[in-house]
Amino acid sequence: MNKHQIDADLVRRLAALLDETGLTELEYSTNSLRVRVAKNHGGAAVSVAVPPPAAPSAGAAARETTAPARGEHPGAVTSPMVGTAYCAPEPGAMPFVKVGDAVRPGQTLLIIEAMKVMNPVAAPRAGTVTEILVRDAQPVEYGEVLLIIE
Amino acid sequence: MFEKILIANRGEIALRIHRACRELGIQTVAVHSTADADAMHVRLADESVCIGPPPSRGSYLNMPAILSAATVTGADAIHPGVGFLAENADFAQMVVEHGFTFIGPTPEHIRVMGDKISAKLAMRRLGVPVVPGTDDPVTDDATAERLARDIGFPVLVKAAAGGGGRGMKLARSPGELAGALAAARAEAKAAFGNDAVYLEKFLERPRHIELQVLGDGQGSVIHLGERDCSLQRRHQKLLEEAPSPALNADERIRLGERVLAAMTELDYASAGTLEFLYEDGRFYFIEMNTRLQVEHPVSEMITGIDLVREQIRIAAGGRIGIAQDQVRFSGHAIEVRINAEHPVTFVPSPGRIGDYHAPGGPGVRVDSALYAGYRVPPHYDSLISKLIVYGATRNECLMRLRRALEEYVIDGIETTIPLHRRVIGATDFINGDYDIHWLERFVEQPQAPA
């Protein structure tokens, strides 16, 4: 857990910005602090992280990164390849899973398309989907966290 | 001109390509393995995409992953760099078929020069002298002996499907031939899955001299002079210089003319290097590399031509624009390759860089992706920096190189800087008097006590 005082005012302002602009995700970073607010299906989620004290990261704001806590989450399902993530079998169809769904091992969670080949991503274990971190048709890289199953 | 280029490589060469792109106002996409997430060029690139795990097979050699990354980022062109997929004709073909521009020669030229036997045949047909040898694999020992006598002992038995100096056995006399054939076949089978072997004349004390060419695929080819890369250990180059201290002006001109005629007939496009062994005033073609080479900076320093920029410009449809006699050669340049290895045992030394201070001042260029705190990963080759010095004369270069090496600080890991400092102090090197076996003899000498 972080040991810093949470700047509640900053977080409130970021959350208000989300509503105002209709964005689903906002990340704000300085040399000592990174705050990400994201709107998931149930409401806004907030994560506050202090980046490790290693050399400053150029272009951190420009990169689409998920908060560090997610990558280490035991229930994280990561992308096995670089491509485009699709949350539904075809445009307009029901998504494979929603937050709150119970899933069986091997159940298709989403599809990664690479080079015109559709690659299903299967649930590695049984559990409940607690977070979906990608949007439909979002480009994803190898190792990127797609969803969390607990 | 391209708007976005994907760099399909890593390390210092990826940084080199990124720099050339940025100077042309082109956006860069850095694809990388998980081990390279903190690489300098990844941090500097406009976009980065993680394409796979540390082993190259899953990342830097992973063609679908690279093409997929190019698709999702909307890149226009792909620069393959050095090694990895740079000379993979299938990859070049796939890049083109998927609608991207491959920054390099045509897949056909990559294919012809990739097969060592066909490359020699092509060069011979184009009037370039080649190492005497057999055109086809030798199948029985009796024929092999007859052919070897024609070539003249000593001969090398080489794997037809080989490369990188592997699968080669020496036979100094007819009596040694049978043993060399058997050993080479066995090693070839194990290393390349193919035991076809051919014979080639063995040169006792050759120098390795290569010629840098640049073509635009629209009728123009120029050369940027030769590089002497004779300082090698286990067929890996350690130091390169341009021009070669061994050639005189006549030899240089004759070699250039012969090569230019061949490359013009091929209508070669992009950068390429023809490698020769040089002995007793004669050149023998051994192979052509249809890509940028690690040591390209020394040719850039003596001609003022930016090879990576030219590759990009040519791939975007640009023409060479100058004639050979407008290429200006000036001064001398030396590059040393600094590896993350112990300078005496050559044991690899990956790990975290502590203090880092690169040399500077007049005539000093450092092509390196190192920074203080960077972790050199253990998964890839050990080249971590290229120190290039330029001077009006070779002597000026030697003094400058000695001075620059004194200044260079790379803390936290072992590097071959101490080895380079010893080499450049050796009388033979100072006199420019070395062949491709010199360095291995030099490192085997016991060192004088400090």
ipTM metric: 0.77
C-alpha to C-alpha distance for B74 and B317, rounded to whole angstroms: 20
With an 8 Å Cβ cutoff, the interface of chain B facing chain A consists of 31, 34, 38, 43-44, 46-53, 59, 64-65, 67-69, 71-73, 98, 371-373
Residues of A in contact with B29 (CB under 8 A): none
The minimal CB distance from A63 to the residues B44, B48, B371 is found for B48
Q: In what order do the strands lie in the sheet with B236-242?
A: B282-289, B269-279, B207-216, B221-233, B236-242, B332-339, B383-391, B364-368
Give burial (CB, 10 Å; 0-12/13-18/19+) of B326. exposed
C-alpha to C-alpha distance for B278 and B257, rounded to whole angstroms: 16
Residue B316, C-beta contacts closer than 8 angstroms, at least 6 positions apart: B1, B2, B77, B101
- H and E: helices and strands count for chain B: 15, 20
User: Which pLDDT value is given to residue B450?
Assistant: 44
**Arithmetic mean of pLDDT over chain B:** 94
CA A31 to chain B, closest CA, distance in angstroms equals 15
User: Which pLDDT value is given to residue A49?
Assistant: 54
CB-CB contact of B375 with B384 (8 Å):
no
Going by their DSSP bridges, the two strands B77-79 and B101-102 should be labelled as parallel
CA B95 to chain A, closest CA, distance in angstroms equals 12
In a mutational test of the A interface, the residue from B43, B60, B61, B68 whose CB has the highest number of chain A CBs within 10 Å is B68
Tens digits of residue pLDDT in B46-57: 999 999 999 999
User: Which pLDDT value is given to residue B380?
Assistant: 94
Q: Do A114 and B65 touch (CB under 8 A)?
A: yes
Q: Do B50 and A144 touch (CB under 8 A)?
A: yes
C-alpha to C-alpha distance for B215 and B237, rounded to whole angstroms: 25
Q: In what order do the strands lie in the sheet with B77-79?
A: B47-52, B27-33, B4-7, B77-79, B101-102
In this prediction, residues B227-243 reach a mean pLDDT of 96
The minimal CB distance from A142 to the residues B44, B50, B371 is found for B50
Q: Name the closest residue on chain A to residue B33, using Cα atoms.
A: A142
Angle at A91 between CA A86 and CA A97, to 5 degrees: 50
User: Which pLDDT value is given to residue B188?
Assistant: 83
C-alpha to C-alpha distance for A62 and A70, rounded to whole angstroms: 19
Does the pTM surpass 0.95? The reply is no
User: Which pLDDT value is given to residue A43?
Assistant: 47
- The dihedrals phi and psi of B5, each to the nearest 5 degrees, come to -120, 135
Residues of A in contact with B47 (CB under 8 A): 63
Between B448 and B424, the higher pLDDT residue: B424
C-alpha to C-alpha distance for B69 and B49, rounded to whole angstroms: 7
Angle at B427 between CA B421 and CA B431, to 5 degrees: 110
Give residue B62's identity as a one-letter amino acid code: N
* A4 — pLDDT class (breaks 50, 70, 90): low
Pick from A67-76, B172-181, B309-318: least confident: A67-76
* A3 — pLDDT class (breaks 50, 70, 90): very low
In this prediction, residues B311-339 reach a mean pLDDT of 97
Tens digits of residue pLDDT in B392-438: 999 999 999 999 999 999 999 999 999 999 999 999 999 999 999 99
Q: Do A55 and B65 touch (CB under 8 A)?
A: no
Q: Do B68 and A83 touch (CB under 8 A)?
A: yes
Pick from A48-52, A82-86, A124-128, B99-103: least confident: A48-52
Between B248 and A3, the higher pLDDT residue: B248
Tens digits of residue pLDDT in B70-115: 999 999 999 999 999 999 999 999 999 999 999 999 999 999 998 8
User: Which pLDDT value is given to residue A48?
Assistant: 54
**Which positions of B are annotated as active-site residues?**
291
Bond preceding residue B154 cis, omega within 30 of 0: yes
Residues of B in contact with A84 (CB under 8 A): 72
Angle at B289 between CA B421 and CA B390, to 5 degrees: 35
Nearest to B273 by CA among B313, B240, B312: B240
